[in-house]
Amino acid sequence: MPRRKGRTEVAVLGALSVSPMTGYALRNAIRDVLGHFWSESFGQIYPTLNTLEDQGHVSRASSEAGRTGATHFEVTPTGLSRLKELLGEPIEPPRPRNGLLLRLFFGRHLGRSACMSLLEAARDEAQARLTGFEAIRAEMATEVAAGLTSEVDQTYWTLTISAGEHAARATIAWADESLQTLQKLDGEARP
Amino acid sequence: MPRRKGRTEVAVLGALSVSPMTGYALRNAIRDVLGHFWSESFGQIYPTLNTLEDQGHVSRASSEAGRTGATHFEVTPTGLSRLKELLGEPIEPPRPRNGLLLRLFFGRHLGRSACMSLLEAARDEAQARLTGFEAIRAEMATEVAAGLTSEVDQTYWTLTISAGEHAARATIAWADESLQTLQKLDGEARP
DNA sequence: GTGTGCATGTAATGAGTTACATGATTAC
DNA sequence: GTAATCATGTAACTCATTACATGCACAC
């Protein structure tokens, strides 16, 4: 019985504050909308919803729209204050665990060409992410035009996309630079 | 009884491959040298060392140098192949969990000024990291000059520092840009 | 009628951290 | 002598993922 420490609650309450939905839709929304900076595993969402319901922070509003039998969850007023409270809490620093950098650090053991493959993969991945962000920007623009999203929300959401773009471009530049560095490394040793 | 999945083993074998040392020194080395992209909790290191010893990948070479009673661990030949094997395994993608971006995404609930404080803190932190990397570069240069570190190792290690620098600069640029965006946000609403 | 996707959960497992517990050694 | 640091471990706990289990509804 895992005790949730608030992080999952923020994602759930926040997502529901944008729009009420079922647990299933919630999982998809978190994956699709918050996916580039947040993830929740499937088995977290329903238990968290139940906990939140017990605390009166969300309530079930069964089947207004959508299929019969599906329960749409919505945030209650106390749930909204809880969200604001959680958002105000200090950010706990993530413990870094970058598998790519760990491999490169011990690159002497891994070998030059394997390291270069890793760098190329990282660069391509970052490039793909960059392309994905363009699509998200376009999609958001249409939603704002249609009145589905407020401009204030758009501003905040764009900040997170921009963060992803900056990070991706930095990765690309670093990878290209590093590939050049390793290219030169051959100079002295092995045939 | 946690089953280790290889990630801790890479860090431990890798660090010991650079230089044999005690478990205690190992913990410090991982914190100080790999710290900007990797972390191991204290309670992981000793159990992992014992597992690795059982498998013959590391051995105890007691008290050649240093204090009496302290056991220096060193990598065995099979440990070295094990390290190479582990380094060659696919990188498991980290599940993103960025507390800062989660807060900014729901910035409408958190409030403009709180968001700006978070951004300023992130920028300052990135700036501090950038300064730290300079120090690491300088220190490494003296180690190479003293013959303690090979130039090949230096090349690989520098790649990881460079990654940190690129990421930090990207964070600074993004935070400054975002602060300007939020500055303008005031335009219409609240007094 | 049947497969695909919607919808809701539980159980087992694992990874990793924190806190606890203990003692030896060196610096002052 | 005593405080700080070196040194080695264990136990409990938390957080989170994966796999399992189940059933309905809608499109074809």
Chain B residues within 8 A of A35 when measuring between CB atoms: 96
Question: pLDDT at position A6, please?
Answer: 85
In whole numbers, what is the pLDDT of chain A averaged over residues? Answer: 92
Residues B53 and B32: beta-carbon distance below 8 Å: no
Question: Which burial class, exposed, middle or buried, applies to B72 when counting CB atoms under 10 A from its CB (0-12, 13-18, 19+)?
Answer: buried
Tell me the C-alpha distance between A13 and A57, whole Å.
Answer: 8
The total number of residues shown for chain A amounts to 191
Whether CB of B37 is under 7 Å from strand D: the answer is no
Banded pLDDT at B1 (limits 50, 70, 90) = very low
Query: Nearest nucleotide, C1' to the C-alpha of A28?
Result: C6
Question: pLDDT at position B4, please?
Answer: 55
Query: What nucleotides of chain C have any atom within 7 angstroms of a protein Cβ?
Result: 6-12, 14-20, 24-26
A53, pLDDT greater than 60: yes
Mutation to test the B interface, candidates A41, A89, A101, most B Cβ within 10 Å: A101
- From the list A20, A25, A27, the residue with the least C-alpha distance to A42 is A27
Cα A136 from chain centre: 13
The more confidently predicted of residues A29 and B185 is A29
Give this prediction's pTM.
Answer: 0.94
Nearest to A14 among B95, B99, B106 (CB): B106
Chain A residues within 8 A of B153 when measuring between CB atoms: 108
Mean pLDDT of A152-178: 98
Q: How far is A53 from chain B (nearest CA, A)?
A: 21
Query: Nearest nucleotide, C1' to the C-alpha of A41?
Result: D17
Query: Nearest nucleotide, C1' to the C-alpha of A47?
Result: C9
Question: pLDDT at position A61, please?
Answer: 83
A25, pLDDT greater than 70: yes
In whole numbers, what is the pLDDT of chain B averaged over residues? Answer: 92
Ranked by mean pLDDT, which of A91-100, A141-150, B167-176 comes out on top?
Answer: B167-176
A188, pLDDT greater than 60: no
| A to B CB pairs, distance under 8 Å | 189
Query: Nearest nucleotide, C1' to the C-alpha of A62?
Result: C7
Give B80-118 pLDDT, tens digit per residue: 999 999 999 999 999 999 999 999 999 999 999 999 999
Q: What Cα–Cα distance (Å) separates residue A111 from each residue in A107, A126, B10?
A: 6, 23, 15
| Rounded CA–C1' distance between A82 and C22, in angstroms | 43
Tell me the C-alpha distance between B16 and B148, whole Å.
Answer: 15
- From the list B156, B38, B23, the residue with the least C-alpha distance to A109 is B156
| Rounded CA–C1' distance between B3 and C13, in angstroms | 10
Tell me the C-alpha distance between A125 and A131, whole Å.
Answer: 10
Question: pLDDT at position B159, please?
Answer: 98
Concatenate the DSSP letters of all residues of A142-159 into one string: HHHHTTSS-HHHHHHHHH
Is there a contact between B39 and A10 if contact means CB atoms under 8 Å apart?
A: no
Mutation to test the A interface, candidates B109, B136, B179, most A Cβ within 10 Å: B109
